[in-house]
Amino acid sequence: MLLKDVIGQQKIKNQLIKTVKEGRISHTQLFLGSEGSGNLALAIAYARYICCTNKTDGDSCNTCPHCTKYQKFIHPDLHFVFPVNTTKSVTDKPVSDDFIGKWRESILENPYLSLNQWYDIIGIENKQGLMTVKESEGIIRKLSLKSFESDYKIMIIWHPEKMHPPAANKLLKLIEEPPAKTIFLMVSENTDQILPTILSRSQIVKIPKIENNDLAGYIKDKFGLDDKKSKEIANLAEGNYQKAAEIINNTEEHENNLEKFIQLMRLCYGGKMLEILKWIDEIVSTGRERQKSFLDYSLAILRKNLLISLDKSELVYLSEKESDFSNKFHQFINDSNAFQITQEINKAYADIERNAYGRIVFLDLSLKLRKLIRKQN
């Protein structure tokens, strides 16, 4: 991960480069940025820039021995700590090192990965990831050794809010006064759950969302999209690379949901009961996940149509097909029915989730929508 591999964020990159050039690298920094902003990617690229022995003004060299090892995340002076828990194969007192192979593989493939994706990868199922006292003892041990190859020892802690308070307490002294040339880079999405004792000892590097143009340019190349499509998706993703990647993978589902939604609204408005029943047969045959995805999508498109009705269309981003449809449809969504429609869809979602009989849930929903959609302001 070179700095140039991180999507956009030129301002932050310049700021980080400057700290290295001017020799004012803070020993404890918190890279704070929302999901998909690239906070982890930036921390890794920054760590590498610090250690590269042949760096230029703008990036690491990519060829020195440090860069070569950083490229595969196997540099002996680069350490990672991240939330883990017991799994089928690691059953006793899990720590990051038990999962380091999987971690390297995962961030090599996608340094924008989310916490939930990571939990899926290691298979901790419904448990939360955490960092225990045993983890802290490991950190202290590693950092008490002399550095092996680089001048700097760098410890990247991903999601420090998952640290147990006793584990964090063990680290306080070290974080406050680390040995010379030891750097903590913590990476998190918000400060809410980070222990105040950790927070107060960290210098915060605020990472904004990725700018639309930068994101559009990146996904255009990476996924081979045309100009228009890449801009459309970057707008929808709102500066979150993870979300953009998800949208690209879900485009087909998205279009399918829109088509189904248009059909249902027309049928409900026309009150054609037999055809509604046919529509229900179809959606019920697609399985629960698809049904939930349809309801989720319905909520989103309704919200957008309400905003258009309220003359707030500048807040709404629609794909071309959605826009064609919403041009007329928004007249049917207003102050007096939007809340109830939303409630009914939410209820249907909850019912599907707890395994209620799909045919009844959708029949019930259609009957309500039939009434609500004709309700005028």
String of contacts with Zn ion for each residue 286-325, x by CB under 5 A: ----------------------------------------
Note whether 155 binds Zn ion by CB under 5 A.
no
Question: Closest distance between Zn ion and the C-beta of residue 66, in Å?
Answer: 5
Note whether 64 binds Zn ion by CB under 5 A.
yes
* Residue among 225, 219, 156 nearest 1 (CA): 156
Helix (H, G, I), strand (E, B), or coil: what is residue 130? strand
Distance CA 41, CA 247 (A): 21
Among 6, 12, 40, 52, binds Zn ion (CB under 5 A): 52
Question: Closest distance between Zn ion and the C-beta of residue 260, in Å?
Answer: 52
Nearer to Zn ion, 67 or 333 (CB): 67
Q: Segment contacting Zn ion (CB under 5 A): 48-56, 191-199, 242-250, 290-298? A: 48-56
Distance CA 46, CA 21 (A): 12
* Residue among 377, 279, 261, 277 nearest 329 (CA): 261
Describe the crossing of helices 358-372 and 288-309 by its angle, rounded to 10 degrees: 10
Tokens representing 28 are: 């404890």
Alpha helices (H) along the chain: 10-21, 39-51, 65-71, 100-109, 115-122, 133-144, 165-176, 196-199, 212-223, 227-237, 241-270, 273-284, 288-309, 320-329, 338-353, 358-372
Among 2, 3, 47, 67, binds Zn ion (CB under 5 A): 67
* Residue among 286, 262, 285, 263 nearest 275 (CA): 263
Among 39, 60, 202, 240, binds Zn ion (CB under 5 A): 60
Question: Closest distance between Zn ion and the C-beta of residue 4, in Å?
Answer: 13
Among 20, 61, 121, 130, binds Zn ion (CB under 5 A): 61
165, 134 contact by CB (below 8 A) = no
Nearer to Zn ion, 25 or 64 (CB): 64
Nearer to Zn ion, 60 or 319 (CB): 60
Q: Segment contacting Zn ion (CB under 5 A): 54-62, 107-115, 125-133, 358-366? A: 54-62
Nearer to Zn ion, 67 or 216 (CB): 67
Rounded to an integer, what is the distance from CA 269 to the centroid of its chain?
38
175, 141 contact by CB (below 8 A) = no
Distance CA 306, CA 329 (A): 10
Q: Segment contacting Zn ion (CB under 5 A): 3-11, 49-57, 336-344, 368-376? A: 49-57
Note whether 150 binds Zn ion by CB under 5 A.
no
Question: Closest distance between Zn ion and the C-beta of residue 151, in Å?
Answer: 13
Question: Closest distance between Zn ion and the C-beta of residue 63, in Å?
Answer: 6
* Binding positions for Zn ion, rule: CB under 5 A: 52, 54, 60-61, 64, 67
